[in-house]
């Protein structure tokens, strides 16, 4: 039974990846057919696209709890959001830093960094009483879309200033910044695009359901609290799209985009993904997450921001340190802070 639960969980991660991939590709094609600007596509479809697994897990978790199919889903869902945030700013960023020297402009850090802290503070304030209500979920969603509107506004100002950039530099900027995360499928009609979207969405939602149920089964089989499974296992599986997208960006020599995706994805995960599920059914927050995991997450975020801010690039030893900090967190979690 343990083997089956583990196999189903791994299979669901693969489904989440390919389901989100198909949804992103279809939406890109549809946006191109309707003449939607690359700017808007890049800042909406692609920004939210890599967070689709986290969003799907949250939404399906909310539906399962509301319908009574699985009433103890809270720890998996909330653990997934906190764990995904932690995994991306330590483990994934550390892996990227070891594979290649990562440069990040201070302009990006000034814009995204404060919002990362704000989003985490908002999440903490909403969760501090032990439950994220529907009203709080709505507030989180509104804050995320206000942030997205500000990002779009700031990027439009950059677009308007592009005439100051030489032509070849402009072309390079456009290719690096707005190139889709995946190579779009060539489709012959909008009906085919919608079909791809529908197939991707079904795969995504079914995979999210399997992820939740198999994660709960795994927690029961191993006699491990569900928040541990959500934080240390489910979060890694749902972070696969971010890792894939960021490694692709590094291969294209777009280091800033890779880090930008991590920062933006975390804001989306903690606000939009959490809010999308909690607005369906209120989520209870395990006390241990408030007492241990969130404080550790603030420390990790502070360290990461400091490393990126001091010299605008991540050194090899800093990348190793982030991976080591994640390992340290995992050890403490498993030994002393499961419940």
Q: What is the pLDDT of residue 187?
A: 65
Find all residues with CB under 8 Å of 53, minimum gap 6, and list them. Answer: 16, 17, 20, 204, 207, 208, 237, 238, 239, 240, 241
Q: What is the pLDDT of residue 2?
A: 87
Q: Tell me the CATH architecture of domain 2-336.
A: Up-down Bundle (1.20)
Q: What is the pLDDT of residue 259?
A: 75
Question: Which residue(s) pair with 131 in the sheet?
Answer: 284
- Helix 2-33 vs helix 52-67: angle between axes, to the nearest 10 degrees? 120
Q: What is the pLDDT of residue 164?
A: 53
Q: What is the pLDDT of residue 278?
A: 97
Distance CA 314, CA 330 (A): 22
Q: What is the pLDDT of residue 130?
A: 96
Q: What is the pLDDT of residue 40?
A: 64
Helix, strand or coil, per DSSP, at residue 287:
helix
Helix, strand or coil, per DSSP, at residue 337:
coil
pLDDT means per 10 residues, the chain with 339 residues, are: 91 94 85 70 72 95 93 93 95 90 78 92 97 97 93 74 49 44 61 91 95 94 94 93 78 68 87 97 96 97 92 87 97 94
Dump the DSSP string for 16-60. Answer: HHHHHHHHHHHHHHHHHHTT--HHHIIIIIHHHHTTHHHHHHHHH
Domain boundaries, the chain: 2-336
Helix, strand or coil, per DSSP, at residue 182:
coil
Number of Cβ within a 10 Å radius of residue 289: 24
Q: What is the pLDDT of residue 182?
A: 45
DSSP letter assigned to residue 338: -
Q: What is the pLDDT of residue 166?
A: 46
Q: What is the pLDDT of residue 242?
A: 80
Q: What is the pLDDT of residue 161?
A: 64
For 182, the token pair is: 């995946």
For 227, half-sphere exposure in the C-beta direction (CA atoms, 13 angstrom radius) is 22
Q: What is the pLDDT of residue 38?
A: 58
């Amino acid at each position: 039974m343990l083997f089956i639960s583990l196999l189903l969980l791994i299979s669901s991660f693969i489904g989440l990846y390919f389901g989100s991939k198909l949804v992103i590709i279809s939406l890109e094609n549809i946006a191109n057919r309707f003449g939607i600007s690359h700017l808007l596509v890049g800042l909406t479809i692609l920004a939210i696209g890599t967070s689709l697994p986290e969003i799907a897990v949250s939404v399906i978790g909310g539906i399962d709890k509301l319908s009574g199919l699985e009433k103890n889903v809270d720890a998996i869902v909330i653990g997934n959001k906190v764990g995904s945030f932690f995994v991306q700013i330590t483990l994934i960023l550390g892996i990227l830093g070891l594979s290649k020297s990562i440069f990040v402009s201070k302009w990006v850090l000034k814009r995204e960094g404060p919002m990362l802290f704000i989003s985490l503070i908002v999440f903490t304030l909403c969760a501090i009483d032990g439950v994220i209500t529907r009203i709080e979920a709505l507030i989180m969603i509104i804050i995320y879309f206000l942030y997205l509107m500000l990002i779009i506004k700031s990027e439009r100002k950059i677009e308007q200033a592009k005439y100051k950039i030489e032509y070849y530099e402009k072309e390079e900027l456009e290719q690096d910044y707005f190139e889709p995360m995946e190579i779009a499928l060539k489709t012959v009609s909008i009906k085919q695009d919608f079909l791809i979207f529908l197939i991707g969405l079904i795969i995504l939602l079914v995979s999210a359901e399997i992820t939740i149920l198999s994660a709960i089964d795994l927690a029961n089989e191993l006699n491990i609290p569900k928040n541990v499974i959500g934080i240390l296992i489910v979060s890694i599986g749902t972070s696969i799209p971010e890792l894939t997208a960021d490694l692709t960006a590094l291969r294209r020599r777009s280091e800033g985009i890779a880090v930008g995706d991590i920062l933006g994805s975390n804001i989306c995960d903690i606000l939009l993904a959490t809010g999308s599920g909690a607005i369906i059914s209120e989520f209870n927050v395990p006390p241990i997450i408030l007492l241990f995991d969130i404080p550790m997450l603030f420390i990790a975020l502070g360290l990461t921001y400091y490393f990126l801010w001091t010299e605008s690039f991540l050194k090899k030893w800093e990348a190793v340190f982030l991976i080591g900090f994640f390992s340290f967190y995992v050890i403490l979690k498993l030994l002393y802070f499961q419940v």
